[in-house]
Structures are given as C-alpha cells and as structure tokens.
Structure 1
Amino acid sequence: MLLRLMTSSGVLPDTVTYSTLLHGYCHAGKVFEANNVLREMMRNDCSPNNYTCNILLYSLWKEGRISEAEELLQKMNERGYVIDTVTCNIVIDGLCNNGQLDKAIEIVSGMWTHGSAALGNLGNSYISLVDDSDSRKKCMPDLISYSTIISGLCKAGRVDEAKKKFIEMTGKNLHPDSAIYDAFIHSFCKEGKISSAFRVLKDMEKKGCNKTLQTYNSLIMGLGSKNQIFEIYGLMDEMRERGVSPDVSIYNNVLSSLCEGGRVKDAPSVLDEMLQKGIAPNISSFSILIKAFCKACDFSAVDEIFEIALNVSGHKEALYSLTFNELLVGGEVVKAKELFETALDRSFDVGNFLYKDLIDHLCKDEKLDDASGILHKLIDKGHRIDPASFMPVIDGLGKRGNKHEADELAEKMMEMASEGKVKNKVHRNVRSSIQGKKNKDGESEWQTILHRDDGSGIALKALKRVQRGLDQGSISSLEPQKDDFLDYWEGSH
C-alpha cells in the first residue's frame, strides 16, 4: 500500500525499496508476490544488488528449489555480483536443511583457503566460481557458518563431530555465542544426558553467554524426561528473577513434565499462570492436559479445560477431534457422542475423529438408534465414510428383526459404492471427491467389504441380498446418475 502511495505521489522507488519489500514477501513465504515485486523492479530499471540476490537465493533454498538456487548463484557470479560470506552462509544453510551436511562442511573448510571459490566444490555448474585471482570473491567462514554446521551436526546426532568443529572454530579465534551452546545443550537434553548439558551450561556462563529461552526450554525438557520436577521449578524461579519471560513452548514442556511425572493435579496452576501473564496456550497445551486428565479419569476437569480451550483458541477442529478421541478411549461414550454431533453441526472434516469406534461402542451398548443416527448424519452431510462403519449397524438391525431397515442401509452402502463417490466438502480436491478410494488390488473399499469373511454373518447376508438385487437389475436406485457438476466443468449444457 505504501509503495503504491509512493508511486502515485511521484516518488520513485529504488533498489533498496524493492529489496526491502521483496525480503518481506520471501520471509513470509509468499513467493508469487515476491516474483511480482521482482518483475516490477526490473520493469522500472532498478537493477538488483547483492542484497537482493541473497534474498532470492535464501528464498529458493528455503522453498527447496535447489536447481533454481544453483542457477541463480551461477548468474550472480557471471554478472559480477560479489559472492560474499553471507552468500556462502545461505548455501551452507540450504545444504544442511536439504540433507547435504557433509557437502556444507566441505565448503566451510574450503573457504579458509579458497574463499567463495570453495562453492566450486558443489559441482560442474559452479566451475566458473573457482577463481582465486578475483579478490572480491575472497570470504572467510564466520560465526554463522560454524553455528549452522554445528547445529546441523547436533540435530543429526553427530555430536562428536560437532565438538571437533567447535574446537576448530575457537582455534580460528571465533568465539561461540549462545546459539552454538544451545545446540549442544539441546542435543544432550534430548539424549537424556543432563549432566553433560549442565557442563556445557557452566562453560557457556563462564564465557559470558547468557541463557536464552532455548536454553531454558532444552533444560526443562531434559529435566522433565528424568522426572526432576523440583529442578524445573527452580529454573522457572530463576527465569522470573532474571526477568526472562517464558513462552508457550516452555510452559508446554512444564505441563508435559508434570503430567508425565504423575503430578497432573499441579498442571492447572501452570495453565492459570499462563493466562494471568497473557501467554495464550495453544492446541498442544490443551492436548497435553486433556490427554492427562482423560488418562486419570477426571472427566470433570476435561470439561473445564475444553471450555477454557474454546474461549482461548476458538472452535478449532483439532481441539474437538483430540477431545472426542480421548473421551472415547476413556470410555465416556455419551460425552463423546455429544461432542461428535456438535462437530458434525459445525461441518468439521471428520477424518481425524474415531467415529467408527463410536458407532461400534454404541452398538455394543445396545444404543442402535443412536449409532444409526450418527451414520445417517454422516451420510447426509456428505462425508467420505469408512465402509466398516456400516457393518455393526446393519448387523444390529438384522438381529433386532428390522430386515427392511438393514436392507435399506446395505442398499445405501452399495449405492455409494456404485457411484464411487459421496458428496464431499467443497474445499477438497474435486478429483479425489468423486473417485472411490482403492485398495492395493485396485478394488474400492466398499466392494472389498462384500467379499470378506470376517464380518458379521447377518450384515454380510444383508449386503449379499442387495448385491444379488443389483446383479438382477431390480434396484433402480443403483443406476448411474447423471453428474451435472462434472458436466458443467466439461462445458456441456
């Protein structure tokens, strides 16, 4: 908006203006908009500078568009742009994130003797970069280069190699910062080597590097894995004394530690502290609590937390599905049914809901009408349904003597099978919504259920009666229907 205001006021944007906007779009992952800015920049005769090219290079690596990133780097070299340490670090980071850690290490080592020409080691496409005579391309590894490599090695579990790079870095008179220490601390905590993590912490503080949120988060995670709750509270107190505000990740780690350490009753006080400090819990926060209280069979607490979650996060599909599934696993079938019906009324996608288990439970509890109501509601709302969901209901109706209803439901199942589709949510891919899901033999799941022998005898008999009717052409509802929606897209009238 500001750029449009500039141009309408006669103030011409320059390379810095466009590069800044380009950086914003790339950082937000909006590549299409970034390309539009670049085109406008070129139309207005604003040549990209080194900063612009580095932004684009970073964005391409981040998007995984490696061949395009390589092509851009080649063009930068050919057109005389300075390939500096920032450029090299972007390539090193891109290689690490794309699983080419050893190549990244090779480049860092080569930079000490060849500068940016070390990028020539990437392959023939970079052969022109190997030019030691051009002093502009001389650049040395810096703290970011080593931080990227050490972090990559730690994430890959290659901590011994990371230690060697740490020693190499300090030998080159590069002093580690908190980010590098955090990489080691996180790795040790993840492996459960808490004493090693605290030894690194001691060296970190000795070298004048302050603890960061990442430091505290890693330590709390590590202590939680050892059920050292008292020490976790000590770290939280230390954070308060130092004026370091915990974020939602730290609180989630504390919640996990309490719940997994058998101190579920203490968890709500942590949630209360988050809310009082204005730190909004996320779905993960509520997931930890709901799972823990369901496991403890404290379903009144689950109700309270769910209500808080709705007020904080809104009516999110993920919140409904996780609560429904946990209630069902905990045996709270009635509550789970009520929650699922609310989810259906809100038109949520039911892919993550264990609705088949709900139908099974209702049938086993002799609540066949409820189970049938759920199934029909799923059909009416056009959801793609697990074929096995039909079986207990058809079986229950047959045992109750409701042969006509059982046949009608079996007919509906066959109808959906013959159409190969159900009406689905508009936002889903059209092609997938009109084709039945296939098994490994290329047969639809609906048809597979007719040929198996592990189902209920009554249900299978009902289905086979309907199938015989289909074979004899006596069920008119199974005739192929004209699909106006598809015809519309194909241009017919």
Structure 2
Amino acid sequence: MDRSKKRSIGSSQSPPPKKRPTFVSYREIPKLHPKIKLLCELLANTPSVSVESTLDEAGVRVSTEDVEEVLKLSYNSPGPTVKFFTWAGRQLNDKLSPYAWNLVVDLLGKNSLFDAMWDAIKSMKKEGLVSLATFASVFISYVGCDRVDEALMAFDVMDQYGLRRDVVALNSLLSAICREGKTGRAKAFFDIVKDRVMTDADSYAILLEGWENEGDVRNAHNVFAEMVALHGWDTSNVPAYDAFLCALLKGPNGVREAMSFFATMKEKRCYPGSKFLRCALEEFVRLNLDREGDYLWEALVESKRCNADTKMYNSMIELLCHSNNADRVNQLLDEMIVNGAFPDSGTYNAVLHLFLKLRKLRDASAIFREMVKNEFVPSVSNCKTAIKVYLDVGEPEMAIRVWKCLVVSESGVAALEDIANLLIVELQELNRLPEACKYADEMIDRKIKLNSKTLSQLKHSLGKLGKMHVYDELLKKWKSR
C-alpha cells in the first residue's frame, strides 16, 4: 500500500491524543546521586529558554552516563530536557551515546512532540545512530496516543533511515499495536505486508497474544490455523501455544476446548509453557476440576517441561485439598521445596485447613510448627478451628500454642471473643484450672470480653477449691475494664 500520498508523519492533523501518560519522576528514586538530583530539579523548575544559561552558571560537569540517567528521569519536562541534551552534547564534544539519543526520541514521542521527535531522528541519521530500537520507540509512542496510521507509515519509511523492513521490525510494530488492544489493526496490516516481508512464528505468537488479551477466541482460532498451515508444528513455538490455549480458556466451554487442543499438541510433541499452566490451574481451581489439574500437572511439571512456581503449587494444592487428597498434598509440599518453590502463607493455610478438616492432627501440628518457624501466622479461621479441634481431642497444649499465635495476629478483639471464651471453659473441663485463670487474666488485659457464663464457671470451679480470692481479683479487673 502506498501511504506516501497521505499526510506526512508528525503532522498535527491527527486524532486527539490520549490522556498524558504518567512518567517516573526523580522524586520517586531513593538515594539518587546528588548531581543527578540537582540536574533533574533544575530541569523540572527552569523554563526551556533559561536552561542552558542556568546549567552554565551551575558549573556542573556531566558524563555520558549522567546524561542517560537525567533523561530517564525527566520525561515530565520534555522542553527543558531537550535543551539539557543539547547543552550536554556541547560539553561532551557531541559524544553522546546512541542510548541517550534513543531516550530523547522516546521522551519526545511519549509527550506527543512528534515533529521534534523526527527532527531528532534525522540528526541521528546523520551520525549513523538510527537503530531498530529507535523505531520501536516510535511505534509505541504513536500507537499509545491512538495514531496507528502514523506508526504504519513509520514502518514504511524505515529504509530511508538505513534500516531493513524485515520480520524483526514488523514484529516490533505488531507488538506495539497489539499491546494497545488493537489486534484487528495489526492483523489487517500483517495481511497486507506478509507477501513482501517474511513472517515467522513469533509474528503469529504476537497476534495470538493480542487476541488472547482481547478475549477473541474466533480470531485466535483463525490465526492459529494459519500459523500451523504455514509454519507447521514447531516444538520451540511455546509463546504461540501459550497464547492460543489461554485464549481458548476465556471462551465458551473454555476448559474443554483448551484441553482438547492441548491433547492435540501433546500428540505432536509440542507443549505450552508456564503461562498456560498458571492460567489453566487458576481456572481449574475456580471450577474445582482436580482431575484435569492432575493430568496437566503430570504432563507439564512432573515431565520437567515446565518449572512450577509457588503460586502454581498453591493452585494445585488447593485442588487436592478440595478432593481431600492429603497424601498427594504432602508429596507436593516435599517436591516444591526440592524444586525451589518455597511454601508461603497461602500454602501453609490451605494445607493446615485440610489436615484439620480430616482430623489428621499429627500432620496439622507438624505444619503449624513449620509455618510458625518460617514466620507465617495461621489465618484467624484456621486458628479458631485448630483450637476447637485440639480442645475437642484433649490436646490443650497445642490449643494454647495456637491461641498465642492468634492473639498476636492483626484481628480485632471482637473476632477473638467466642474462641477466647471457649478456651477458658474447655481448659476448666480438662482440669487445667490454673491455665484457665492465667489466660482469663491475660484476656481481660487485652480487653477481650469474657461472657457471664465463662465467669460463672470460673467462680464455681475456684469456689470448690476455696480460691474465691482469685475469682474476686479477676472480677475486679474485669469490671474495671
């Protein structure tokens, strides 16, 4: 397509720009070098016309690295920053790095100063500094402010700046367009240029990721079929398989269709990667599909085709907990540590909940001790359940250990009242009156409300032992609170 007859690149006749993006400020960077901070502050607070004279008066000497750092942190002040760049070029005898030039191009583009951006690119051309990274920035800037046509025209003129319009450049353009949710525009341009630019599997992977992000299953199907017809089944094309299967998960009958295509890929010995594994496990958890989870885990993780992280292990453990498969849960706990995916609070709480539910108290106690040792606190609901279960089976020592964890949690006092009263009552019934009095005293200090029934039982128990003075002290403290 001949776009040379359309408006020129950088023309102001274009759709209104989107809301200005938010840039990283030097103020957000801790322990910033004093010289860099000084220069950034100067650019942020000095009009463009005064920047060079102010810099001269400051007497600051800069290196190429200094220039790069200042540029990265001064996107909010494009005019003064370009003046600084010009000033620094004179100080450094025009020995500015290609990276610094690309930062200027990016800074101008991100601020929609496209005429100035192209002026900078023309200056780079004279120095032989224009690279694919330069144009990648141009593509992103144009697409980011909804000027896709200009991005396409920029691709068309790359050869004028000494660059090839090859598949790497095309993929950079497609990626910029798809990331902004405009995969339809990317695919339309792709169909135009694919006869004159040799595409590759990455081109299709980018389009598939775009359709995945937009939840367009039909177009994902079409692109995937086209990719397989042109490039065949390639074991290294993991990103494309990931994107396609994740797209299928978002459609009607998503799990069934995704797993059907996964089976086909498996027959071809072509496998997706961790991205699909993570998405599929999350969907399996949502739908309680433990058998599908086991099948996929065996095919990808146990076969060493994917490395599972802690979040993936947690999803699989949650599935197994739903099916009460305690033995398999223990197995995964051991495996994840060996494989460098260490349990977190979510892991421990899911497993503790399962063991308590199944009354596997030896395992529950072991998990409790391990998580506390690793500085994780059981959830309030798990603590309450554990205290009830341990008291019910006559293990007050473990109930007390869990209580100590519960009271240092961030839960409010009101959330502790029911379990606190239960603990005091049950300790008495287990002939642990001294501990009951001790923890009742601590609860009153913590402003945890003991109800009249609990106090009445304490009064009765202490009265039988002739220790009403202990009760009187507790009651006095309780009333004073």
What TM-score bracket applies, with the shorter chain setting the length? 0.5 to 0.7
Q: Deviations over 1:144-171 (max 9, x none)?
A: 53432222343x3x23x24235446757
**Kept in 1: contact 2:209–2:243 (CA 8 A):** yes
- Which SS does the other structure have where 1:325 is aligned? helix
Count of aligned pairs: 352
Q: Deviations over 1:53-98 (max 9, x none)?
A: 98x6898589x6779x9999966642324448675224434x48xx
Q: 1:212 aligns to what? A: 200
Displacement of 1:227: 1.9
Give the whole-Å Cα distance in 2 for the aligned partners of 1:168 and 1:344: 49
Of 222, 229, 244, which aligns to 1:231?
222
Which amino acid counterpart does residue 391 of structure 2 have in structure 1? G
**Kept in 1: contact 2:249–2:280 (CA 8 A):** yes
Query: What runs of 5+ residues in structure 2 fail to find an aligned partner?
Result: 1-62, 76-80, 425-435, 446-481
Displacement of 1:291: 4.0
Quickly say closer, same or farther: Cα 1:201–1:403, change in 2 above 3 A: same
Give the whole-Å Cα distance in 1 for the aligned partners of 2:238 and 2:67: 28
Query: What runs of 5+ residues in structure 1 fail to find an aligned partner?
Result: 1-52, 117-135, 418-445, 474-493
- Scaled by the length of structure 1, the TM-score of the pair is 0.55
2:88 paired with 1:78: no
Question: Which runs of structure 2 are paired with 1:54-73 in the superposition (5 Å)?
Answer: none
2:265 paired with 1:252: no
Which amino acid counterpart does residue 294 of structure 2 have in structure 1? D
**Kept in 2: contact 1:189–1:219 (CA 8 A):** yes
Which amino acid counterpart does residue 212 of structure 1 have in structure 2? D
Of 281, 286, 299, which aligns to 2:277?
286
Displacement of 1:247: 2.4
- Which SS does the other structure have where 1:454 is aligned? helix
Q: 2:334 aligns to what? A: 342
Displacement of 1:237: 1.9
Give the whole-Å Cα distance in 1 for the aligned partners of 2:235 and 2:351: 43
Give the whole-Å Cα distance in 1 for the aligned partners of 2:168 and 2:383: 55
Give the whole-Å Cα distance in 2 for the aligned partners of 1:255 and 1:163: 31
Which amino acid counterpart does residue 228 of structure 2 have in structure 1? D
- Scaled by the length of structure 2, the TM-score of the pair is 0.56
**Identity fraction in percent:** 12
Quickly say closer, same or farther: Cα 1:455–1:259, change in 2 above 3 A: same
Quickly say closer, same or farther: Cα 1:397–1:297, change in 2 above 3 A: closer
Give the whole-Å Cα distance in 2 for the aligned partners of 1:86 and 1:376: 53
Q: 1:164 aligns to what? A: 150
**Kept in 2: contact 1:391–1:456 (CA 8 A):** no
Moved over 6 A (4+): 69-74, 136-143
Displacement of 1:385: 1.9
- Which SS does the other structure have where 2:415 is aligned? coil
The answer to which structure, 1 or 2, has the higher relative contact order (CA under 8 A, 6+ apart) is: 2
Which stretch has the larger CA shift, 389-398 or 358-367? 358-367
Q: 1:145 aligns to what? A: 134
**Kept in 2: contact 1:397–1:406 (CA 8 A):** yes
**Kept in 2: contact 1:324–1:340 (CA 8 A):** yes
Q: 1:452 aligns to what? A: 413
Question: Which runs of structure 2 are paired with 1:41-56 in the superposition (5 Å)?
Answer: none
Q: Deviations over 1:214-245 (max 9, x none)?
A: 4201322345532226424422323425x977
Quickly say closer, same or farther: Cα 1:109–1:72, change in 2 above 3 A: closer
2:262 paired with 1:268: yes
Displacement of 1:252: 0.7
Give the whole-Å Cα distance in 1 for the aligned partners of 2:121 and 2:204: 34
2:185 paired with 1:199: no
Which has more radius of gyration? 2
Displacement of 1:353: 2.9
Give the whole-Å Cα distance in 1 for the aligned partners of 2:249 and 2:121: 50
Question: Which runs of structure 2 are paired with 1:309-324 in the superposition (5 Å)?
Answer: 309-312=301-304, 313=306, 317-324=310-317
Quickly say closer, same or farther: Cα 1:58–1:356, change in 2 above 3 A: farther
Q: Deviations over 1:449-481 (max 9, x none)?
A: 3x42234613465389655555999xxxxxxxx
Which amino acid counterpart does residue 102 of structure 2 have in structure 1? N
Give the whole-Å Cα distance in 1 for the aligned partners of 2:95 and 2:401: 74
Displacement of 1:393: 0.5
Give the whole-Å Cα distance in 2 for the aligned partners of 1:194 and 1:398: 60
Q: 1:89 aligns to what? A: 102
